[in-house]
Amino acid sequence: MTEIKQLEDKAREIRRSILKMIGAAGSGHPGGSLSATDIVTALYFKEMNLDSDNPDWDERDRFVLSKGHAAPVLYAALAEKGYFPKEELQTLRRLDSHLQGHPDMKKTLGVDMTTGSLGQGISAAEGMALAAKLDQKDYRVFTMLGDGEIEEGQVWEAAMSAGYHKLDNLIGFVDNNHLQLVGKTEDILDVHPVGEKFEAFGWHVIEIDGHNMEEILEALTEANEVKDKPIMIVANTVKGKGVSFMEGEAGWHGNAPNEEELKKALAELN
């Protein structure tokens, strides 16, 4: 089996986990978790230098899910990678669970930064990247933002700063699914064109199909060659990707599938 096929299979399994855990919890954010899945899969199962037995390994690559509400995709990847037992995914958002509604670095092993309030993760990622430069360490810092999230001003403070500090060990993704909570980004506060904006802020920009595993890997290879600029990979995606009735629908931003919907969704991901 080729590496691409392996990663695609892994992504499918992660999509299944996302849906099952949100179904069990009765709440959560399926749309934005599914649109981010292929990228997160590539990061955790191919690109990032990690050791699931040593979540605090100080030379590790870091990942900051700035769009913290997509916690299910992060949790699914971490469980799949062995940071904690996969069965625990079904405890998402429960009172007795370490799996909080948004990633909590003090409760869940493998989470590099607590996020949830949009626009803040990218700043933390910048801090980690600066720390690496200060300590002359080679680890890279990856971060993922939503295209709705980049409406937050803090994102642009961080973008300006990272560009100014030439942080070539900082690799960001925008999960560019053109939807946010109440509707389409173009009907709310259209931040597009995204790539041009980051370019103007001094970033090296790569635009890809966020569901094409080959393009994702190629972009990451290109990113590793860039010097003196942070990198932003603008990934064109579909919110709810993988589940036909969720794809492209703003309504699946923060709603859990019921039992029947879950069944239908899982059947599509076989």
What is the SS3 assignment for 83? coil
| Residue 116 near other proteins by CB under 8 A | yes
Residue selected from 108, 120, 169, 237 as contacting other proteins according to rule CB under 8 A:
120
When binding is defined by CB under 8 A, the residue of 36, 76, 92, 122 that contacts other proteins is 122
Q: Is 107 helix (H, G, I), strand (E, B) or coil?
A: coil
How far apart CA 19 and CA 211 sit, in angstroms, is: 18
- Rounded Cα distance between 121 and 102, Å, is 12
Interface pick for other proteins out of 61, 126, 149, 175 (rule CB under 8 A): 126
List the x/- string, 141-170, binding to other proteins by CB under 8 A. Answer: ------------xx--xx-xx--x------
Separation of alpha carbons 37 and 103, rounded Å: 16
Query: CA 126, 146, 160 angle in degrees (round to 5)?
Result: 35
Report how far residue 53's alpha carbon sits from residue 14's, in angstroms, rounded to the nearest whole number: 20
Residue 236 CB, shortest distance to other proteins, in Å, is 27
Q: How far apart are CA 173 and CA 118, in angstroms?
A: 14
Could you give the CA distance from residue 4 to residue 98 in angstroms, rounded to a whole number? 32
Site string for other proteins, 58-77 (x = CB under 8 A): x-----x-------------
Minimum CB distance to other proteins smaller for 107 or for 263: 107
Is 89 a residue that touches other proteins (CB under 8 A)? no
Count of residues of this chain found to bind other proteins when the rule CB under 8 A is applied: 32
Task: Note whether 247 binds other proteins by CB under 8 A.
Answer: no
Does 134 participate in binding other proteins (rule CB under 8 A)? Answer: yes
**Whole-angstrom Cα distance, residue 100 to residue 94?**
8
Is residue 255 near other proteins by the rule CB under 8 A?
no
In the complex, the smallest distance separating the C-beta of residue 130 from other proteins, rounded to whole angstroms, is 6
Please check whether residue 172 is in contact with residue 142, taking contact to mean a CB–CB distance below 8 angstroms: yes
* Among 4, 105, 217, 269, interactor with other proteins by CB under 8 A: 105
| Per-residue tokens: 149 | 């999230």
CA proximity to 168, closest of 107, 240, 121, 229 = 229
Rounded Cα distance, 241 and 219, in Å: 20
Is there binding between residue 127 and other proteins (CB under 8 A)? yes
Nearest approach, Cβ of residue 161 and other proteins (Å): 6
Indicate the residue among 47 and 112 with the shorter CB distance to other proteins.
112
User: Residue numbers of the site for other proteins (CB under 8 A)?
Assistant: 58, 64, 104-106, 112-114, 116-117, 119-120, 122-132, 134-135, 153-154, 157-158, 160-161, 164
